Amino acid sequence: MPTPQRKWQDILFSRRMVVCVFIGFSSGMPLYVLIQLVPAWLRSNGVDLATIGLFSLVSLPYTWKFLWSPLMDRFTPPFLGRRRGWALLTQLALLVAIGLLGQFDPGDSLRAIVALVFLVSLFSASQDIVIDAYRRELLADDELGTGNSFFINAYRLSSLVPGALSLILSDHLPWATVYWVTAGFMLVGIVTTLVIREVSDDTLAPHSIREAVIEPFREFFQRDGVATALAVLAFMFFYKLGDSMATALATPFYLDMGFTRTEIGSIAKVAALWSVIAGSLIGGIAMLRLSINRALWIFGFVQLVTILGFAWLSVAGHTPVGLFLVVSAEYLGVGLGTVALTAYIARETSRAFTATQFALFTSFIAVPRTFANASTGFLIEAMGYTTFFLLCTALAVPGMLMLLKVAPWSESK
């Protein structure tokens, strides 16, 4: 007998949505410390740009987090349960590591800073593992779209702490104080972890390291067959490949179109921020009525079509209104597609191996971003911007075609 569809109000105004907001903030804040606050701190202390660029290498734990995620599926801390226990440990470690950063002088303690930045990255990636797993186990399938929308938006809004508040404070307070104030915002996650209930089913937990490492892969490939599993992975790779490549070198593109840095900061960056948040919100609310499959189709089509705006802008050249409209449309599509894809990834994880499979899938979809950053410059130099953006649009088509196999429109309820 089919499960009756719940009212959208019951989903939207549930306690679980509030939890998604607070854990989203806790998950995002440490990342923005690494990519916004630390570079500003280093540069303001005279560290050269080449050295600051090399600091991006310490973010490798985000890419390789699936390597130790089985340990977080296998072992349960002696307090709070399998998910909340690990979450509290990583959040406390982040509070201390972020706070300690400001105790060092970039002029003579660069090695210590590298070590601490790596630890922040490691603990942050580990927090992501357990929070992703908790969120999947917390939300029912019909809540995945809305819950992930709330999570993603809180994740992005957390950037206002290290990317705005902390930078403003640094003009008035010592860096040591700024970092402890910033670290204090990890209390949002710590308090949330202490208040929420544990949702992990320990009866599904793996009983050995071997089982924790091997069974997530075996379960995934045996669930619907190897062919279907490979199709799912191919879809995850291709679904956002086009827009990842289109936006990889967006700022150099704007400069080459004749826009000033002031225009880019006041038009393009503002348009990107509001529209990606709006896209995530609209997507989450729409998925109160739309299934995940149909959201992937509709949002994927928007994501594909809006890439063409960049092709138009490459011909139109310097037009501030056009820049605002094109960037707004593109990042609206990015926000919509991200919500649908994140919900789909969550649905594809097994509750027995949530942490490992979720970490593996999110690491896998980062591959197109790496590919984009490595190849787009060569492609643009070879074919020019207009042809490049048309190529990006074409590269979004295979992901849409894969939906016929992995998420058909006429799904059975």
Question: What are the residue ranges in the chain where pLDDT is below 50?
Answer: 1-2, 413
Residue 371: predicted pLDDT:
63
Residue 10: predicted pLDDT:
63
Distance CA 28, CA 393 (A): 29
Residue 100: predicted pLDDT:
94
List Cα–Cα distances, 128 to 62, 116, 170, 172, 268, in angstroms: 9, 18, 28, 32, 29
Summarize pLDDT for 3-36 with one digit per residue, the tens: 556 665 666 667 888 898 899 999 999 988 887 7
Lookup: tokens for 109? 């303690």
- Taking only Cα atoms into account, the Rg of the chain, rounded to an integer number of angstroms, comes to 22
Place of tokens 């050295």: 51
Which domains are present in the chain? 8-205 (1.20.1250.20), 219-406 (1.20.1250.20)
Nearest of 155, 145, 137 to residue 73 by alpha carbon: 137
Residue 413: predicted pLDDT:
42
Distance CA 186, CA 409 (A): 41
Residue 89: predicted pLDDT:
96
Cβ neighbors of 115 (< 8 A, separation 6 or more) are: none
Can you state the angle between helices 144-157 and 269-286, rounded to 10 degrees?
160
